Amino acid sequence: MTKPKNTRARPQLAGKKKPSILVLHGPNLNLLGTREPEIYGSESLEDINRRLSLTGQRLGAQVETFQSNHEGALIERVHAAKLQRSSFIIINPAGLTHTSVSLRDALVAVKIPFIEVHLSNIYSRESFRHHSYFSDVAIGTISGLGSSGYDLALQFALQPRP
């Protein structure tokens, strides 16, 4: 007997519909470029978003970005992603990584595959940052590669699926 394929781990993005990728940025990421550049780098959030959007256009996908300092706004945006039939979510929950069961529940509820991204290596920082409420339900986690983690997540999200 053959084992069923894990479709959750490799979502199907094929078809005529242009893939729609939602990139979510959590609290304080609006301060990128000025906030602790020795940890988070000197690139602004606008620079990251612009780069992701251009990459998406080049690869035939729509990339939408959203940042909020409010947990409820992020949850509402996740809910809207289901109605908009987003193909994939890339999320940097920022400080909510370690506290938000509600945002985790929203991601699980909409059943849209997602990758968790962190600019810094959360496992080499303070011990309270070592636990993520998202990692066990994410397809994968990218941590500590700076803003290139977003690029890697987008590349994965847009790979052709067998």
What letters, b where the CB count within 10 A reaches 16 and e where it falls short, cover 49-67? Answer: bebbbebbeeeebbbbbbb
Given 25, 40, 133, 150, which residue is catalytic? 40
Is 40 catalytic? The answer is yes
Give the integer Cα–Cα distance in Å for 121 and 117: 10
Catalytic option among 25, 79, 98, 118: 118
d(CA 134, CA 106): 11
Q: Verify whether residue 133 is a known catalytic residue.
A: no
For residue 87, the tally of other CB atoms under 10 A from its CB is 22
Collapsed DSSP state (helix, strand, coil) of residue 159: coil
List, by residue number, the catalytic residues.
Answer: 40, 118
